[in-house]
Amino acid sequence: MHHFLSLADLTAEHLSGLLDLAVDLKNEWKTGPNRPLLGRKTLGMIFQKPSLRTRASFEMAMLHLGGQALYFSPFEIQLGERESVADVSRVFSRYVDGIMARVFGHDDILTLAEYSSVPVINGLSDYNHPCQALSDLLTIIEKKGRDLEYLKLAFLGDGNNVATSLLFGAALTGMDFAIGGPPGYELPADVWEQAKLLATEHGSTLSAAHDPTEAVADADVVYTDVWASMGEEEEAEERARLFRPYQVNDALLEGAQPDVIVMHCLPAHRGQEITDAVCDGPHSVLWDQAENRMHAQKAILVRLMGEGQA
Ligand code: CP
Ligand code: NVA
């Protein structure tokens, strides 16, 4: 593993190994400090978009592992505007041991990786959000056990970056995946093609429905995300109207398994894609889910920058 750009780049064995390491590092941190597996290592972070979880969890992960993170806000580097993405990558990778970037266009992640002399981690692009899906798999394992092939995850809402990475994660682990959303907002065809190849290999059933009750039927995990992602704010009003039937609320959850867990990558627009009652209710695992970003990313960082440790 040289970069971490998409879950679809991983083998099932790599993914499983990362999850094992995340579990170990979380246990270690819960009972005492982590070993300094990244002592004196540095992570440069480029953000073109806002963040709470991604910045905080990467920065704390580096600190806990004995390293340091360096944050650049959207205003500073101005990726591709002040200077080319390739030149940013050539220069930045001379200073740091790894780069994490959150960008609009996925091509910018690919260009950063192409010209970087150090590992690049995708901290979200318009195409996918692999760090999120990796940590979500960790949360599902904690709540439901390791045998993901017996589970069904239903994603309600937009066929967006988070849905894409969850689809790849499900396809690699043998978990069934169903998405429910309005016509015109499905996952892209090339994403389905790639996921279907992985699903055939690992035994997942993948499906898409426009009927939300069909998507959540017997689901063990119900997942949602904002209806308008960062950069789509101008469409928010129209999307709010179109996506209304896909709100995760108590009535919709009646069709899922009685012990269903509800997940949201956050930030949540309470009252839109998810109700207050569900966010704060007995099925919600939102806060453990957010915490696990830090533990899963420690595994990514150690694998990429840890020089064979752990
Ligand atoms: N889920 C997530 O990536 O959150 P932030 O946008 O706050 O980083
Ligand atoms: N789909 C959302 C995820 C935020 C973590 C976005 O891209 O804005």
CB of 268 within 6 A of ligand 2: the answer is no
The pLDDT > 90 percentage for the chain reads 98
Report pLDDT for 307: 80
Q: Order the strands of the 98-102 sheet from edge to edge.
A: 68-72, 42-47, 98-102, 120-122
Report the pocket of ligand 1 as residue ranges, CB < 6 Å: 51-54, 124, 132, 265-267
pLDDT above 90 for 310: no
pTM exceeds cut of 0.75: yes
The pLDDT > 70 percentage for the chain reads 99
CA of 161 to the centre of ligand 2 (A): 7
CA of 201 to the centre of ligand 1 (A): 31
- State the closest ligand 2 atom to the C-alpha of 231, by its place in the atom list counted from 1: 8
CB of 160 within 6 A of ligand 2: the answer is yes
Residue nearest to atom 4 of ligand 1 (CA): 53
- State the closest ligand 2 atom to the C-alpha of 124, by its place in the atom list counted from 1: 7
Q: CA-to-CA distance for 295 and 310, rounded, in angstroms? A: 14
* Residue among 109, 123, 105, 146 nearest 22 (CA): 146
Please give the domain boundaries of the chain with CATH numbers for all domains: 7-129+293-305 (3.40.50.1370), 132-289 (3.40.50.1370)
pLDDT digit string (tens) for 192-220? 999 999 999 999 999 999 999 999 999 99
pLDDT above 60 for 309: no
pLDDT digit string (tens) for 106-158? 999 999 999 999 999 999 999 999 999 999 999 999 999 999 999 999 999 99
| Mean pLDDT (whole number) for 256-271 | 98
pLDDT digit string (tens) for 245-259? 999 999 999 999 999
| Mean pLDDT (whole number) for 264-275 | 98
Catalytic site positions: 102, 129, 132, 225, 265, 293
Q: CA-to-CA distance for 3 and 122, rounded, in angstroms? A: 8
